[in-house]
Amino acid sequence: MSKNDVLDRTDIEDIVARFYADMLKDPIVGFIFTDVAKIELDHHLPVIVNFWMDVVFGGRHYDGNPLRKHLELHQKIPLRPGHFTRWLYLFERAVDAQHAGDNADKMKQRAEMVAKSISAAIVQGRRRDMQLVLPRD
């Protein structure tokens, strides 16, 4: 079966819906969204679709700060690199399920950048919070 590229908002809505359907059931990251962040899908999904619209097609649909949101979430539960690895795996799987092409690749590349940059920011924050302990003479 031939897969189409990501062509419009409907394609992005389908990817995001598939991704969240899988992610919310996932034993590694699902609880973060259901029990900790307690996202409301009716509000959350259009925001995420807007983010991906800007990534793929340009424009100013999304008005948010994903780094700030994840840092706030990290205050509630420690987010680890493995959480972001799993998130990325699930996202790429959702894209690849029905799409292939330049825009699909763009979504996966940006998802990887987002996962790496947010994970790195959290690790840097943990390093800043550490205190240097020197041995006593």
SS3 readout for the chain: CCCECCCCHHHHHHHHHHHHHHHHHCCCCHHHHHHHCCCCHHHHHHHHHHHHHHHHHCCCCCCCCHHHHHHHHHHHCCCCHHHHHHHHHHHHHHHHHHECCHHHHHHHHHHHHHHHHHHHHHHHHHHHHCCCCCCCC
More confident residue, 78 or 1: 78
| Residues flagged as binding site | 43
* 106-135 tens-digit pLDDT: 999 999 999 999 999 887 765 454 444 445
Please tell me the CATH code under which domain 9-125 is placed. Answer: 1.10.490.10
The pLDDT value recorded for residue 64 is 87
The pLDDT value recorded for residue 76 is 93
Average pLDDT, the chain: 90
* 30-54 tens-digit pLDDT: 999 999 999 999 999 999 999 999 9
| Residues flagged as binding site for heme | 43
Domain ranges of the chain: 9-125
